[in-house]
Structures are given as C-alpha cells and as structure tokens.
C-alpha cells in the first residue's frame, strides 16, 4: 500500500540518536516509527490543551 508522507532529515547529536534508539528498542519500534509516535502523541496533547491546529488541508 503506497503512502503519501513527507520525509525530512533530523540533525541529532550521537548521544541523542543513541538515546532515541534505546527508547525505541524498549518500545519494540524502529527509530523512525518511535519518532513518529512521539511527535503524534505530542501533537495530540497540544491540541487537547489548545484546540486543533488548523493547517488548511483536508484529510
């Protein structure tokens, strides 16, 4: 199944990269999947506190 997702690069120090890797492993996720999970969870929290963030795009 094809997905339509944007991709971008993160510039992280080795220490931060390694820490994310450790957390991802504990959650049984790939690093990419873990970073997506954390960002989505953060967005949900912010929107719960402050309301939906309008992007002007439809799903």
Structural domain contains residue 2: no
pLDDT band for position 50 (cuts 50, 70, 90): very high
CB 31 within 8 A of CB 24: yes
Structural domain contains residue 20: yes
pLDDT band for position 57 (cuts 50, 70, 90): confident
Structural domain contains residue 56: no
Range of the domain at 34: 14-49
Q: Which residues contact 33 (CB under 8 A, 6 or more apart)?
A: 24
Identify which has the larger pLDDT, 29 or 59.
29
Number of structural domains found in the chain: 1
Structural domain contains residue 26: yes
Structural domain contains residue 5: no
Closest CA relative to residue 36, chosen from 58, 59, 4, 7 = 7
4-28 pLDDT per residue, tens: 888 889 999 999 999 999 999 999 9
Can you give the pTM of this predicted structure?
Answer: 0.79
pLDDT of residue 56: 85
């Amino acid at each position: 199944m094809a997905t339509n997702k944007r991709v971008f690069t993160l510039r992280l120090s080795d220490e931060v990269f390694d820490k994310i890797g450790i957390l991802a492993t504990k959650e049984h996720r790939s690093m990419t999947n873990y970073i997506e999970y954390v960002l989505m969870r953060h967005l949900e929290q912010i929107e719960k506190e402050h309301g939906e963030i309008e992007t002007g795009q439809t799903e």
